[in-house]
Amino acid sequence: MSEQIVTVTSSLPAAAFLVPLAAGALVFLGRKLQRAFWQGTALLASGITFLIGLRMSGQVLSGAVLTTWGNELRVDALSALMVVVIGGGGFLATLYSVRYVTRPGLLTRAGAEATARRMPTFYGLVLWFLATMVWGCVTNNIVMLYVAVEATTLTSGLLVAFYWDRRALEAGYKYLMLLTIGITFALLGCVLLYASAAATGQIDGGKALLISEVRHVAHLIPAGTALLIVAFLVIGFGTKAGIAPFHPWLPDAHAEAPTPVSVLLSGVMIKMAMYALARTVSIFYPNWPQLTVFAVALGTFTMVLGIVIALTQDDLKRLLAYSSVSQMGYVLVGLGLGTYLGCYGGLFHLLNHAIYKALLFMCVGAVIYATGIRKVSELGGLARSMPITSACFFLGALAIAGFPPLNGFMSKLTVYLALAKAGLWWAVVIALAASVLTMVVLVRAAYTVFWGSPQGAALAQLQVREVPVVMWVPMVILAGACVVLGIFPQAPFPLLDKAAAVLATVGR
């Protein structure tokens, strides 16, 4: 990079996670108050986080890197992008939840009174979940990165089990257990990385904790230890990011959580884990470029396995969850290539997947809100009664399948080009095949649910109506984003370009 980077001390990186953290505490303190207070606080805090993300992006684009507390927090273009994704996803999911949680049986199994009693816990945890995710993306401390990633598991663990029935409890147990075991490997990796960096003697102990400093001495770490560190980090953060074969927790958690939480888990959280993986492993790339083939192989395996299992799903939320596994494969392939084009494609796909997966989960949540049914085989013909939801779902399905001119097409194309440029044609073929399967899975589901002939006795007795405005507005915004980013892929270019430059360590 030829341009000068200026380090600017700013309180924004701290504010980005302290605001939702404090708001969460406020919701817990005000648990005796009304629903309007909890929801208003959550909306306000997530909105502010999003705005802080945008503000930081603006500053980063002008060539600055924002730091707080003596470089403990550090926001470059990559971190700013992640805060925008987390803040935006958080705000829209909260807006969507405003009416969703009021329908009996959608937030808990208990009666209306008990549900109302548990609602502040829900919003408090959602805010803390957002706060921990943002914290993970702004911290520059390698051990705190682990602490933040594990903290996202803790804040979302009870949200996954929130419904508190057999399925939700099973999902919650698996989620907490598997992710904690996985993340413990990441701790080992992070600590080894720190110790190895300190042992090079080039930087003193305190600085060896800072990711931005470790980058400069990574090439001095002995090969055997470096390999061990990478393996631990891939197992640790890879588990959290839903990379196969560490993904079995994902479909359970993403499907059994209340829909607004599914939106956050699939739309945002797994990206944050992928960020942690890319941020740490990429520092080894310049000296061990052979890691790229390993990452691409793991990514293609993930994309194929996820979508093949998605083919067999009848439950709409599980289908979407498995498709998330598959899509994370594309992100991993892009980022794993380590080239500028690969990183650009990976990050663009990360952004796009956050948009259309949040959209698809919201649409399925709308179907559940309107009918109480989530099995494809029991649904059909909803397009007439739910025109907005059906249009949004269909658009999201086309976008995720990589149909031009939608956003998924642009980012997938970038990943394909990056793979081709790196000479990995086998991976291009596999990625294309997985994309065709995605089209089959999602478009078939969309067709059956919204245009197929109505199936099942339960549906016939229902008076199905379109969901309330506050539920479809976030869906329309996200669907609009799919179109806009597809037609104007240059819109996010400045930020993605700078963010990709942070990760791109192999050639240009």
Partner 1 sequence: MNTQPLNAQLIETLSMVMVITSVAAVEIRRLRLAAVAYSAQALLIVGLLLSFAAVNPSLYWWAGTAFLTKAVLTPWFLFRFIGKTQERELPPLIGFAPSVMVAAALMIGFYRLTHSQIALLAPTEMAQQEVFRTNLAVASTVFALGLYCVLTRRDAIKTVIGLCLLENGVHLSLVSLAPELSETALFGVATEVVVTVYLLLYVIAGVRQEFGTTDTLALKELQW
CB of 219 to partner 1, least distance (A): 14
Per-residue contact track with partner 1, 425 to 464, x per CB under 8 A?
A: ----------------------------------------
Stretch of 238-246, 247-255, 392-400, 430-438 contacting partner 1, by CB under 8 A = 247-255
Phi, psi of 278 (to 5 degrees): -65, -40
Among 255, 296, 328, 351, binds partner 1 (CB under 8 A): 255
What distance in Å separates the CA atoms of residue 347 and residue 503, rounded to the nearest whole number?
10
CA proximity to 145, closest of 107, 186, 112: 186
CA proximity to 78, closest of 64, 96, 95, 57: 57
By CB under 8 A, residue 199 contacts partner 1: yes
Cα distances (Å, whole numbers) of residue 253 to 151, 291, 327, 394:
16, 30, 17, 24
By CB under 8 A, residue 473 contacts partner 1: no
The secondary structure element, H or E, covering residue 8 is strand 6-9
What residues does 68 pair with on adjacent strands? Answer: 73
Q: Which of residues 297-316 bind partner 1 (CB under 8 A)?
A: 309, 312-313
**CB under 8 Å to 199, separation ≥6 — which residues?**
none
Pick between residue 322 and residue 409 the one whose CB is nearest to partner 1: 322
Among 256, 280, 303, 499, binds partner 1 (CB under 8 A): 256
Phi, psi of 68 (to 5 degrees): -135, 155
Stretch of 150-158, 283-291, 298-306, 353-361 contacting partner 1, by CB under 8 A = 150-158
Among 59, 102, 121, 184, binds partner 1 (CB under 8 A): 184
Pick between residue 149 and residue 281 the one whose CB is nearest to partner 1: 149
What distance in Å separates the CA atoms of residue 115 and residue 233, rounded to the nearest whole number?
39
Site size for partner 1, by CB under 8 A?
A: 51
Whether 330 contacts 299, CB under 8 Å: yes
By CB under 8 A, residue 233 contacts partner 1: no
CA quadruple 502, 409, 241, 69: dihedral positive or negative? positive
The secondary structure element, H or E, covering residue 298 is helix 291-311
By CB under 8 A, residue 23 contacts partner 1: no
CB of 406 to partner 1, least distance (A): 30
For 393, other C-beta atoms within 10 Å of its C-beta total 28
By CB under 8 A, residue 18 contacts partner 1: no
CB of 167 to partner 1, least distance (A): 5
What is the longest distance spanned by two Cα atoms in the chain? 73
Helical spans, DSSP H, in 372-491: 387-400, 407-421, 425-446, 457-460, 469-487
What residues does 315 pair with on adjacent strands? Answer: 375
CB of 441 to partner 1, least distance (A): 14
Stretch of 201-209, 292-300, 357-365, 415-423 contacting partner 1, by CB under 8 A = 201-209
CB of 408 to partner 1, least distance (A): 26
**Residues at the interface with partner 1 (CB under 8 A):** 141, 143-144, 146-147, 150-151, 153-154, 157-158, 161, 164-167, 169-174, 176-177, 180-181, 184, 187-188, 191-192, 194-196, 198-199, 205-206, 209, 221-222, 224-225, 228, 251-252, 255-256, 309, 312-313
